């Protein structure tokens, strides 16, 4: 089955620790995205990647880092510099970046900082 997978589903972290969230897609999509969702707020774009070996900051990139070494994979690292990391993190992909095509989402990772 084609789709997007994220792991883990739930993640608990102590303050001061970095943590990496996994995102894999087998849809052969060029573009991938990371969003954060907080209660009562819309999705906010953290980072996006138009193509392999390229990525750009979104609206709230501070305290986060990404890599795109393979087309299928776009991991997100939440660093200790992120002030309020507890949130629902969603990875998405689309055929391309520059034509406003629909995005498809993975099941998400709920991160809780203890």
Partner 1 sequence: RKEVEQDPGPFNVPEGATVAFNCTYSNSASQSFFWYRQDCRKEPKLLMSVYSSGNEDGRFTAQLNRASQYISLLIRDSKLSDSATYLCVVNILTGGGNKLTFGTGTQLKVEL
Q: Which residues bind partner 1 (CB under 8 A)?
A: 35, 40-43, 45, 50, 56, 88, 90, 97-108, 110
Smallest gap from Cβ 106 to partner 1, in A, equals 6
CA distances for 43 relative to 16, 33, 53, 56, 90, angstroms: 25, 11, 24, 17, 9
CB of residue 39 to partner 1, shortest distance in Å: 10
Which residue lies nearer to partner 1 by CB, 41 or 84? 41
If the CB atoms of residues 9 and 14 are measured against partner 1, the closer one turns out to be: 9
Count of helix runs (H) and strand runs (E) in the chain: 0, 11
- 17 or 57: whose CB is closer to partner 1? 57
Q: Which residue, 80 or 105, has its beta carbon nearer to partner 1?
A: 105
Rounded to the nearest whole angstrom, what is the least distance from the CB of residue 40 to partner 1 in the complex?
Answer: 7
Paired residues of 4 in beta bridges: 25
Q: How far is the CB of 10 from partner 1 (least distance, A)?
A: 11
* CA separation for the pair 31, 93 (Å, rounded): 5
Instruction: With CA atoms as reference, report the closest residue to 28 among 53, 58, 51, 55.
Output: 51
Closest CA to 36 of 114, 111, 93: 111
């Amino acid at each position: 089955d084609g789709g997007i997978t994220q792991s883990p589903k739930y993640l608990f972290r102590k303050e001061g620790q970095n943590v990496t969230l996994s995102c894999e897609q087998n849809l052969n999509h060029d573009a991938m995205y990371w969003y954060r969702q907080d209660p009562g707020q819309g999705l906010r774009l953290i980072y996006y990647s138009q193509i392999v070996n390229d990525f750009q900051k979104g609206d709230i990139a501070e305290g986060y880092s990404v890599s795109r070494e393979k087309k299928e994979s776009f991991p997100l690292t939440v660093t200790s510099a992120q002030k309020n990391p507890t949130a629902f993190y969603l990875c998405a992909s689309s055929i391309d970046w520059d034509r406003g095509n629909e995005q498809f989402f993975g099941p998400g990772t709920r991160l809780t900082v203890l």
